[in-house]
A and B are shown apart, each in its own frame.
Chain A
Amino acid sequence: MNLAATEISGEFTSLAEIESHANLAACLQCKKCTSGCPVSAMADIKPHEMVRKVQFGQKDEVLASKMLWQCTSCQTCATRCPQKVSVAALNDGLRRMSVAAKSPTKSAAPTFNSIFMNAVRKRGRMNEAGLMASFKLRTMRLFEDMGKLPMMLLKGKMPLWQSAAPGRSEREELFKRAANAAKGGKS
């Protein structure tokens, strides 16, 4: 552990607890979360370590962790924890903090999320073909999985047009109110 990077004020730890609603102090480090985690074998920070590193204020390491974007939110950790600490919820909170802090990541997930949420705001429902096209353009992964396209078209799994939900201006207002409420810290 890099002690120089430890934030001793405890501010990061408190912010992570508030953002994630995860009761980290209850963690016993029993590693039951890590034992059941489907991606722990490839993780740079394993679930039980994530809790500890947040408690120790290892902000930079935690927010740049690859694990934040490998965790599948499968909820096995939260289900099996004897102390009801949800590392899945913690990771969600840390992801939001990581994006807000513009921490470095190689994952395309934050880009995908922003495209997806934009589509929800504008259309209310997904148009999968449009979603994939925007994602591929933004990430320049133009050829990945393109071999699947003809087959998906043939199987009717990628309709080029799908109807949007009514009420676009109402949705724009909803998103604005959510952004304002989040600024007021009331969620």
Chain B
Amino acid sequence: MEGTAHDYQKSTVAVSKALGLELPEIPGWICCGSTSAHQSDRLLSIALPAKSLAAAEGKPVAVGCAACYSRLKAANYEIANDPEVRKTVAGVVGRDYDGKTEILHLLEILSRDIGMRKIAETVNKPLKGLRVVTYYGCLLSRPPEVTQFDDPENPTLMDQVMEAAGATVVEWPHKTECCGAGYSITDVGIVKKLTREILAMAKSAGADCIVTACPMCQMNLDLRQKDTEKASGERFDLPVFYFTQLLGLAFGISRKELGLKSLVVSPDKVLAAHGISA
């Protein structure tokens, strides 16, 4: 999250600070291997996350990226449910890990540990009248046995956070549709087709903007939106925020601290129309 999603990183840190939440990094953490690991090497796809999880020494692990979250949860699931896997992974990583370290997405921490009341109390510039659609994508809630995140077809954690921030959450059917994720690099055609459907649905639902909780979702919907418009002849003009950025605005945190300048589709018009200026 220091590269393409540096704005997610910044806004996560700023919002956490406002809520008194400390997020120290796992010492020596390494990449979970992402899609490339599970597509090419099953053992490494479990061992790489296990190495970082073991380094957390039993403390709960907070995750911002939905793909990392999914890979860490999958590693936990495999290790905790299969003693053979646990043994093999221990041999590869060089230490035993029981698969029981708690893994939480930031949305789960906000809902379970911070609570909507505290969030609402911290809000001093409510996002009044801002119509948002919440977009969870695939990997937070699927498969439910593994992630145990929220309802897999109709998750509401982000909706609750946005409501606490004063926004109007618009109902739409594409909360958990797929954006094409990692094919952004190897097969852009898939991403363009899938993001077009998501953007068109958000537009027809009457949203002012889309809120995401995953760097891949945000990038595919935001960075490629102009190309998608060109290809389909439609006009979407939908800013795509991280939920931490909108929450940060409601907390009165500055645009700079929230990395709003890094959004490709400018949010200026939408925010100004609703008198939101931090």
B187 touches A126 (CB 8 A): no
A70 touches B30 (CB 8 A): no
Q: Kindly report which residue of chain A lies nearest to residue B223, judged by CB atoms.
A: A148
Which residues from B are CB-within-8-Å of A78? 142-143
Residue B183 at the A interface, CB < 8 A? yes
Which residues from B are CB-within-8-Å of A175? 44
Which residues from B are CB-within-8-Å of A70? 183, 187, 190
Residue B16 at the A interface, CB < 8 A? no
Measured between C-beta atoms, what is the minimum distance from A18 to chain B in Å?
11
Measured between C-beta atoms, what is the minimum distance from A30 to chain B in Å?
17
A182 touches B43 (CB 8 A): yes
Q: Kindly report which residue of chain B lies nearest to residue A96, judged by CB atoms.
A: B40
A99 to B42, CA, bound (A): 13
Which residues from A are CB-within-8-Å of B204? none
A117-B3 CB under 8 A given contacts A72-B181, A96-B41: no
B36 touches A112 (CB 8 A): yes
A155 to B218, CA, bound (A): 14
A112 to B186, CA, bound (A): 7
Which of A135, A144, A181 is in CB contact (< 8 Å) with B188? A144
Could you tell me how many residues of chain A have their Cβ less than 8 Å away from some Cβ of chain B? 64
Residue B262 at the A interface, CB < 8 A? yes
B187 touches A76 (CB 8 A): no
A45 to B147, CA, bound (A): 28
Which residues from B are CB-within-8-Å of A76? 138, 142, 176, 178
B143 touches A38 (CB 8 A): no
Which residues from A are CB-within-8-Å of B143? 75, 78-79, 86, 88
Interface-located stretch among B84-92, B101-109, B159-167, B244-252:
B84-92
Which of B5, B7, B178, B262 is in CB contact (< 8 Å) with A74? B178
Which of A38, A74, A92, A148 is in CB contact (< 8 Å) with B38? A92
Contact surface of A with B, Cβ cutoff 8 Å:
19, 38-39, 42, 69-70, 72-76, 78-79, 86, 88, 92-93, 95-96, 99, 107-110, 112-114, 116-117, 119-120, 124-129, 132, 135, 144-145, 148, 151-152, 155-159, 162, 165-167, 170-171, 173-175, 177-178, 181-182, 186-187
22 contacts between A and B (CB under 8 A): A42-B190, A70-B190, A72-B194, A74-B142, A76-B178, A79-B144, A96-B41, A96-B42, A112-B186, A119-B31, A125-B29, A148-B223, A156-B7, A157-B5, A157-B6, A162-B3, A165-B30, A174-B51, A182-B41, A182-B42, A186-B84, A187-B43
